[in-house]
Structure 1
């Protein structure tokens, strides 16, 4: 997905850097490209004749059609100004717009396939009656949980939660040799795909889950043995794997008090109809 940003640089360079620092992650920018490349067939003169106000209305309709809600009022004026920049897009338009058009088609197809895959993954969770359980972990989406479980397989095959963590290569291990004692590091000998899925899930969960947020803050700010951001993310990823194992094995929703203090609680069991 990095090519669109590269091929779009000939257009991006003709605008102020504040227009869209990551153009192909901006709904307004992409919608405008679709209007110009698909509807106007790259005819910039036609796009200019629409005028700034009418072009904005056309782009707004394209954003709505694609599932967005509103356009960027800051980007559209700069985009319209670029249509008149003789040193930028007008000079490079034939090659640039052709590449952008092809990339937009590939991008749309990849997004469609990704959405279809995620829908089927969540459908499997629903069939197994696991969706309510795994999403009881605050900040963990059904798609994120499905991605992890697709790599780990049935958690019931692991006797303990630590077994899952070791399988992922997220278990810390001391480096010992005779009288030498090195720094404790992750083994890194497990399945890299599980670590990747868990780390990706943590990016969202850490900001939405108060337990994970507090843990991250503690690990990165404590005086003794302070961890880097990457190390703290790995520690939370390991905790997430343990919590997933627990809720699925016990068929009970995630309890933040148990996750924080290890106390015995009596959470309600999620029924099959949940």
Structure 2
């Protein structure tokens, strides 16, 4: 006995996506596929059965796309095609010159996921051999099969926010690396100084004292009064105003018996000073870029809206939005969550039901930004706290703490999507699911 089922939401959206792609990759257009490289570009003209109509290697960077299109047009016309559509892998930033010049000439560009090209090498000739023309042929085949996508073009303030977000990510890595390097060096050369405060690297007085000197011998030679005065003079440069004399006395006492590896102490302490300078510089750059990101959100009139989500900072929201640009380009909030790789991945067939995990496919930077944001929101948002408690303590299928935070990160993205796209404030009653819809009365 069969059961007729209507099309699901996924079916309809898939059909809409394929319709949009077919309006670009038209059957009367040949496919021009380019395998991008630094100094040479392999171009292939193919029909929709992936039969190669022409191939040519072009010397130069990606800006030779004009020469490629000048060559591909007559080849496609000779085979009876009315025009061409361009396809490539999104290699670094090299695809952007192709998009810029192609649209200036009225030619559409689509991109193919590199994973599909990698998997297509073996199905092409049963080998994993790779070459420029082979990759270009596979790209053309994927475009003809509509296994491609239209690249998103960043413009205006969203473009600036994207680049500022990339800069912030770089500075976070630099700051974290310098901080860990400082700890590693002091553990080797002067371990006693790391016991002078409960969290020394998070204590401003301790960091300023290390900025005065990371050499215990020099601190002892200065004497405590001169050392404390030097810390007082250095404090404003780090944004502080008051010293903790108890910590300073503990550092001075630790300088008497520094411990550590004696043969490397002088050199390692000198390098620790460089690590501290790198850390301080990265923190300054981080504060500057975060201020610029807040400025962009102010221009977009989003700062007040995103902070209606209790526990979400402006910087946290800006970091999320910087990963994808305007979320309105996505069909719905679920699509945005799927783009982050936070959607559930089913593992079932027939009567078999495996363990459900998140897909982890999509944009890892967006997933990381949402994960970081939910940690702060959990502390200050009673709705998220109650949801976290429910997920981890329910009788049926309780989640582990990491799983619950992942589920809440996906919920945060869905709610932020509504706040940004609809320009409405976050409603804790709606987020908690305590509102009741009132059915309209019959006339």
- Which bin holds the TM-score, normalised by the shorter protein? 0.7 to 0.9
- Comparing 20-29 with 232-241, greater Cα deviation is found at 20-29
Partner of 2:170: none
Partner of 1:122: 294
1:6 aligns with 2:178: no
1:67: how far off?
1.8
- Comparing 234-243 with 50-59, greater Cα deviation is found at 50-59
1:78 aligns with 2:255: no
1:26 aligns with 2:26: no
- Comparing 117-126 with 88-97, greater Cα deviation is found at 88-97
Greater Rg by CA: 2
1:44 aligns with 2:222: no
With the length of structure 2 as denominator, give the TM-score of the two structures: 0.54
Verify the 8 A CA contact 2:342 2:358 in the aligned structure 1: yes
1:13: how far off?
1.8
- Comparing 181-190 with 144-153, greater Cα deviation is found at 181-190
1:51: how far off?
4.1
Partner of 1:196: 368
Partner of 2:378: 206
Counterparts of 1:151 and 1:163, CA distance in 2: 15
Counterparts of 1:136 and 1:263, CA distance in 2: 18
Alpha-carbon spacing, 1:71–1:228, altered in 2? closer, same or farther (3 Å): farther
Verify the 8 A CA contact 1:198 1:240 in the aligned structure 2: yes
Of 291, 303, 308, which residue of structure 2 is paired with 1:136?
Answer: 308
- SS of the residue corresponding to residue 163 of structure 1 reads helix
Counterparts of 2:263 and 2:230, CA distance in 1: 25
Spell out the pairing of 1:44-63 with structure 2 (5 A cutoff). 44-45=217-218, 47-48=219-220, 50-52=222-224, 55-63=227-235
1:52: how far off?
3.5
Counterparts of 1:134 and 1:239, CA distance in 2: 14
1:248: how far off?
1.0
- Comparing 105-114 with 242-251, greater Cα deviation is found at 105-114
1:184 aligns with 2:362: no
- SS of the residue corresponding to residue 296 of structure 2 reads helix
Counterparts of 2:257 and 2:230, CA distance in 1: 21
Verify the 8 A CA contact 2:185 2:269 in the aligned structure 1: no
1:254 aligns with 2:432: no
Counterparts of 2:422 and 2:258, CA distance in 1: 66
1:263 aligns with 2:435: yes
Q: Which deviations, in whole Å up to 9, do the C-alpha atoms of 1:195-221 show, x marking residues without a partner?
A: 100000111111011111111111112
1:21: how far off?
5.6
Partner of 2:347: 175
Partner of 1:238: 410
Alpha-carbon spacing, 1:43–1:231, altered in 2? closer, same or farther (3 Å): closer
- SS of the residue corresponding to residue 254 of structure 1 reads coil
With the length of structure 1 as denominator, give the TM-score of the two structures: 0.84
1:225 aligns with 2:397: yes
Of 320, 329, 333, which residue of structure 2 is paired with 1:161?
Answer: 333
Spell out the pairing of 1:91-130 with structure 2 (5 A cutoff). 92-130=264-302
1:116: how far off?
1.8
- SS of the residue corresponding to residue 263 of structure 1 reads coil
- SS of the residue corresponding to residue 119 of structure 1 reads helix
Q: Which deviations, in whole Å up to 9, do the C-alpha atoms of 1:176-235 show, x marking residues without a partner?
A: 123211122212222111110000011111101111111111111222111111101101
1:44: how far off?
3.4
User: Which consecutive segments of 4 or more residues in structure 1 shift more than 4 A?
Assistant: 69-74, 86-93
Structure number with the bigger relative contact order (C-alpha 8 A, sep ≥ 6) is: 1
Verify the 8 A CA contact 2:216 2:255 in the aligned structure 1: no
Q: Which deviations, in whole Å up to 9, do the C-alpha atoms of 1:31-61 show, x marking residues without a partner?
A: 1111125xxxx5835x335543553454245
1:124: how far off?
1.1
Counterparts of 2:258 and 2:391, CA distance in 1: 53
Give unpaired runs (5+ residues) of structure 1.
266-274
1:157: how far off?
0.9
Structure 1 or 2: more strand by fraction: 2
